[in-house]
């Protein structure tokens, strides 16, 4: 029996992980910790089915609701950031970090500090604190298994290969919901328009990040940290069909591509079963029915987030923490109708520019405290700067 913890169980990745677990033989898994935030009804329903040792909501104000929803189950529950940290620290064979945003950093790092095998969907933690997380992983003998489909594809393409034979990583990107919009019309894109992803069903935040390519920008930085490559070894290519999940180019000129239907249960299941491959309930590709696979270079005027990611990697230090935090504020502001779609990148860039003087952006991400301090500062600055971009509230 494998002991597993599911952090962010109520989200898009979390529920797909539970779908896979619920198909396994009875007794294959013991769930140690199950965590969510605001969706107490779903968290309680999952807890009743999975019978974890502890159920946690990150929202302290929702503890009573959770307690009430678990009445009669005999299950332990707790709430708040410290409870979340304790849940992540519980001994487990496998910990899924499917929390969205920088809130995933402390629980993920805590799991690594306890030597866990961390199945990592939460890319934001690697962007904010990659060197720190990778150091902790090496110190404790922990392990990170990528869950992001692109990084899972790269990880699978690298299996059995020597890292010094790796020449380049080619990250594929669908281009998101607005990929065919004229550049000038992008300024007026609404939340609903940005949410209409052509290929993937994902959480709200990552879907908007897909349309703006901030998601790909985070993934470029994530790839650098996970695979230890130089920034110039990472390429991004638009691939509309989302069939090739990413590619690895080797020094002998060969390219290994990972293909499959766009279904997150593949990378989640690969990480869950690793190092084995087990049957997964995902559709099989019918190559004969596929008319074509297309590839095109991304236009950086349309997707300024990609340029910003390169600048962040040049600075390194605490720039990743600032970038992610400013991006989260920009996304909040866009979701709230306070700034326009293209203003998100402008706000992030303005925040990085402001922080590049006298704010320690170049300092090493030596400790969690340094990272959290930069995260906080960037949020404050982005919030202040956003007033300069504010416009009449737009329709959702
Ligand atoms: P969702 O928004 O669907 O789910 C997020 C999860 O995190 C929920 O369980 C939510 O709880 C919980 N949560 C929200 N805020 C907090 C907080 N402050 N503290 C603790 N928990 C919190 O996100 P996704 O599943 O889409 O994404 C999760 C992560 O996986 C992200 O980092 C994303 O980039 C990454 N990812 C997602 C993919 C996808 O297909 N969705 C693909 C690849 C990567 P509740 O719902 O109860 O409020």
Percentage of the residues of the chain whose pLDDT score is greater than 90: 92
CA nearest to 58, candidates 43, 47, 72: 43
Ligand 1 atom 8: residue of nearest CA = 11
Ligand 1 atom 9: residue of nearest CA = 8
> Mean pLDDT over all residues of the chain?
95
pTM: 0.97
Ligand 1 atom 23: residue of nearest CA = 203
Cα 160 to averaged position of ligand 1 atoms, centre (Å): 31
Cα 230 to averaged position of ligand 1 atoms, centre (Å): 28
**Ligand 1, pocket-test mutation among 206, 260, 372, 375, most atoms within 8 A of CB:** 206
> What strands, in cross-sheet order, belong to the sheet with 255-259?
234-238, 166-173, 244-250, 255-259
Residue 262 has pLDDT above 50, yes or no: yes
Ligand 1 atom 2: residue of nearest CA = 203
Residue 229 has pLDDT above 60, yes or no: yes
* 8 A C-beta contact, residue 337 and residue 388: no
Report CA-CA distances (Å) from 148 to 119, 265, 348: 9, 11, 23
Question: What pLDDT was estimated at residue 396?
Answer: 46
CA–CA gap between residue 266 and residue 245 (Å, rounded): 11
- Residue range 161-171: mean pLDDT, rounded: 96
Torsion of CA 348, 349, 351, 355, to 10 degrees: 140
Cα 362 to averaged position of ligand 1 atoms, centre (Å): 29
Exposure string over 249-262, b if 16+ CB within 10 A, otherwise e: bbeeeeebbbebeb
- Residue range 377-386: mean pLDDT, rounded: 97
* 8 A C-beta contact, residue 268 and residue 22: no
**Half-sphere exposure at residue 173, Cβ-oriented, CA atoms within 13 angstroms:** 33
360 torsion bin: left (phi>0), alpha (psi -120 to 50), beta (else): left
CA–CA gap between residue 299 and residue 260 (Å, rounded): 26
CA nearest to 12, candidates 105, 125, 130, 149: 149
Q: Which residue(s) pair with 56 in the sheet?
A: 35, 78
Q: Which two tokens stand for residue 65?
A: 């609701």
Please give all residues whose beta carbon lies within 6 A of any atom in ligand 1, as ranges. Answer: 8-14, 36-39, 58, 84, 98-100, 103, 121-124, 148, 200, 202-203, 205-206, 264
Confidence of residue 290 (pLDDT cuts 50, 70, 90): confident
Residue 52 has pLDDT above 60, yes or no: yes
Question: What pLDDT was estimated at residue 392?
Answer: 52
pLDDT tens by residue, 297-314? 999 889 999 999 999 999
> Which is more confidently placed, 198 or 78?
78
CA–CA gap between residue 382 and residue 374 (Å, rounded): 12
Is 96 exposed, middle or buried (CB count within 10 Å of its CB: 0-12, 13-18, 19+)?
buried
- Residue range 329-351: mean pLDDT, rounded: 97
Cα 147 to averaged position of ligand 1 atoms, centre (Å): 13
- Residue range 376-383: mean pLDDT, rounded: 98
Residue 247 has pLDDT above 80, yes or no: yes
Cα 242 to averaged position of ligand 1 atoms, centre (Å): 21
Q: Which two tokens stand for residue 21?
A: 């677990």
For the chain, helix (H) and strand (E) counts, in that order, are 15, 11
Is 278 exposed, middle or buried (CB count within 10 Å of its CB: 0-12, 13-18, 19+)?
exposed
């Amino acid at each position: 029996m494998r002991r597993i913890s599911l952090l962010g169980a109520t989200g898009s990745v979390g529920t797909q992980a539970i779908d896979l677990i619920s198909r396994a033989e009875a007794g294959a898994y013991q769930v140690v910790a199950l965590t969510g935030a605001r969706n107490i009804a779903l968290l309680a329903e999952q807890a009743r089915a999975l019978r974890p040792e502890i159920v946690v909501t990150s929202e302290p104000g929702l503890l009573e609701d959770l307690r009430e929803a678990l009445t009669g189950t005999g299950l332990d529950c707790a709430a708040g950031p410290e409870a979340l940290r304790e849940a992540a620290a519980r001994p487990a064979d496998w910990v899924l970090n499917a929390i969205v945003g920088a809130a995933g950093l402390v629980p993920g790092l805590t799991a690594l500090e306890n030597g866990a095998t961390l199945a990592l969907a939460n890319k934001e933690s690697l962007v904010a604190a990659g060197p720190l997380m990778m150091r902790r992983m090496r110190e404790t003998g922990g392990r990170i298994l990528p869950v992001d489909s692109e990084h899972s594809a790269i990880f699978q393409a690298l299996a059995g290969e020597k890292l010094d034979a790796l020449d380049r990583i080619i990250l594929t990107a669908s281009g998101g919901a607005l990929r065919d919009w004229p550049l000038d019309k992008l300024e007026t894109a609404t939340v609903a328009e940005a949410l209409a992803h052509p290929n993937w069903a994902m959480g709200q935040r990552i879907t908007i990040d897909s349309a703006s390519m901030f998601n790909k920008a985070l993934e470029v930085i994530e790839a650098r940290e996970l695979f230890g490559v130089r920034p110039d070894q990472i390429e991004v290519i638009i691939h509309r069909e989302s069939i090739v999940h990413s590619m690895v180019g080797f020094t002998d000129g060969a390219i290994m591509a990972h293909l499959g239907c766009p279904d997150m249960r593949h990378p989640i299941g690969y990480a869950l079963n690793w190092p084995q491959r087990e049957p997964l309930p995902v559709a099989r590709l019918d190559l004969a029915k596929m008319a074509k696979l297309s590839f095109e270079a991304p236009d950086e005027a349309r997707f300024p987030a990609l340029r910003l990611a390169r600048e962040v990697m040049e600075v390194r230090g605490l720039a990743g923490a600032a970038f992610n935090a400013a991006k989260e504020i920009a996304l909040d502001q866009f979701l709230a109708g306070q700034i326009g779609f293209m203003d998100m990148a402008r706000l992030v860039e303005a925040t990085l520019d402001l922080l590049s003087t006298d704010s320690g952006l170049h300092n090493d991400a030596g400790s969690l405290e340094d990272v959290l301090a930069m995260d906080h500062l960037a949020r404050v600055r982005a919030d202040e700067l956003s007033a300069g971009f504010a416009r009449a509230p737009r329709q959702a």
